[in-house]
Structure 1
Amino acid sequence: MDEKEIIIIAAIAIPITLVIVVIVLFSVFSRRKNRLLQEQENAKKAFDRELAESQIEIREETLRNISWELHDNIGQLMTLAKIQAQMAQERPELLAEVSETIGTGIDELRALSKLINPEALKSLSLKEAVSLEMERFNRLKFIAAELKVQGSITPIESNTQIILFRIMQEFFSNTIKHSRASTLKVILDYSDELLTISAEDNGVGFDKSDNFMGIGLKNMKTRAQLINSTLKINSVKGQGTTLHLKYKFV
């Protein structure tokens, strides 16, 4: 094979090789692009599914809260007002107590009305939503609850806020139902790029062998991952449980 033939073969082989390389690279790029698009679609579906579940759970929790308040708080106030009114028929000086009890009942109804609208959370900031929970716990004497806000509040997209609130609500629910705690302290700490949420109770705590936190803890961690947050739950038997969540602003 002389030099001329070698040049001709090379002139043919090089373009063909370049075409093959381009086709291979395009194929690899297309597969990666399609895989990335599929992952993004799956992530969006997972987010939408968790968002829908969070909204349903918040509504269910709201209905339970309304039931508790109507029965355990407002119902008892109205019963007391009825008894006082009956007594006031013979002792008119008790009318002032009747008026005060009815006034307290009206105030409780106004507070309760904030929970009735299932879309109310969308119109509230995270601070306002958590404040309502803390106020309810204190009003019903479930636990001595305290909320502190540090830094300048940064608005959060409503769907992300719903998931953040549901994570906290899950922790609060476990505290009220299982921890036998007397205090609950919550901190919302805002910085330029980060929201750090801390919640701490002084209850009985739990260890890894306990089952009551299993599903709830898994749900909280799954939801935190969907909004690119980090979540840690620490607990020591007899010393309480703490939640630490970090959400980075987009």
Structure 2
Amino acid sequence: MKNLPQKILAFLQKITRLFLRLQWKLTLLYTLVTVAVLLILISAAVFLSNQMVYSVPMLTANMADALSLAAQDLAPALSAQPVDAAAAEAWVDKVFDGRMLFISSEVDEGEDEPAETKEISYSFTSMASKNTLLVVADPQGHVIASNHPERWSAGRPLTAEASPAGLNLLRQALGGERDARKLWSREENRQIAAAPIHQSGRLLGVTLVVLERPNQLDLLISTLFSVAPTVAPLTLVAGLIGMVFGALTARSLVKRIKGIMHTTDAWGQGDFRQRLQDRSADEIGLLAQDLNQMADELQNLMQTRQDLAALEERNRLARDLHDSVKQQVFAVSMNLAAAQALWERDPQAARQRLDIATEVSRQTQQELTTLIQTLRPPQLSEKSLPAALDELVRQWARQNNCRAAFHVEGSPQPLHPETEQAFFRMAQEALSNIARHSRASMVEMALIFNHDSAALEVRDDGQGFDPNQPVSGLGLRSMRERIHALGGVFAVESRPGSTHLSAQIPVLSPDRNTEVAHE
């Protein structure tokens, strides 16, 4: 019990944090607006409809039509011997409850039809003042039942206190008038209608309604009382609808914003293949278009920087080749030409020239080896290819919090530096793609040595992709070009849950492999 206040406080803080999120803020706003608008519209509609009852003559005619039909429900009570006054009083109480006048009729679809087939055929509803009169009288005009028994008690002549218009309508109804269109009248703030009650052509009685208009305050109070039973469930339904609609709308907005976040995060990792697919004309859509344009410009800028870096590297290599290798090759050429010229006249001098040319060519070979090594990954300069790949996989697994394994199949053998470099670059690019796109939980890499070839395979259990779809990135294309340039085969297989990259490159003869591996 001591921890109960803390639990309540923690729960309230959790709810508060929930509504700090954009989606739930918008959901709550939609719900409140929906409920508020519904309440206002219902109250305004009821208020205005009751105002129209007292200003539109057609509605008075509708009241007379509804009364002429509803009054026939009194026929069984008035034809009884003696007259069933209790049933008449019950009918009066049902039609007028002190604030609302509700006139409805039930008509038989046929004489042999059961009671369940009866249905409401006409109805009239209106707010009413407490002074409204609803009375049932016999053919002599004596009161049988009324909503004001203290003023119009049973047996009292109705003509004693009826208004002139009401008295006129009453006389017409008792005189045999059955046309409801002639049995209604309007006065200031008052509507009057009468209806005779017949059975088998015999007049059983008459009903009279004198509808008094309530004042504005009573009308407003009556409106609130009348809509309350309806508004409560409607408010609940509207609140749920508003919540669902708000949640869906807010979810759509949040989803679009998360799409922007996901794409910009990929851009931050250097993957510019993704683009925002939001073509809406609203502010978020325009923002997506601006961001896509920015990404295009940034990608072009990075490509330009890469091109400049490559150009600078080529210029450096050109200078190195010009300043060292070219001069050494020229020296070899000069010494060979001198040896050829001295070969007949002075063989000893010719041999010295050949020795010099041999030494210079060895220096040229060492210079070229140094240049080639500067282009190789530093990992391959310090370790063998299997050791470098194993270290690469372990480091990638730690950085990306993903399980990864590397193993070697077959007997390792020396490979050409270009083959090693191609495999290592392929492994780097494959792991980079997995980290950016795959969402894999397990990665396996294998370096396979066969008799006449070497292969590298990379597998992951990520979401996969369609290898037949064109891609805008350079990753797969660069890997394929590297492998094909060495006479190898590059293959991609992918489906949801599995992606397999494989590259196979033929190897040279054992002696040549050993030679190039030490170059």
Normalising by structure 1, we get a TM-score of 0.49
Q: Which has the larger radius of gyration?
A: 2
**1 or 2 for the larger relative contact order (CA 8 Å, sep ≥6)?**
1
- Decide which structure has greater helix share: 1
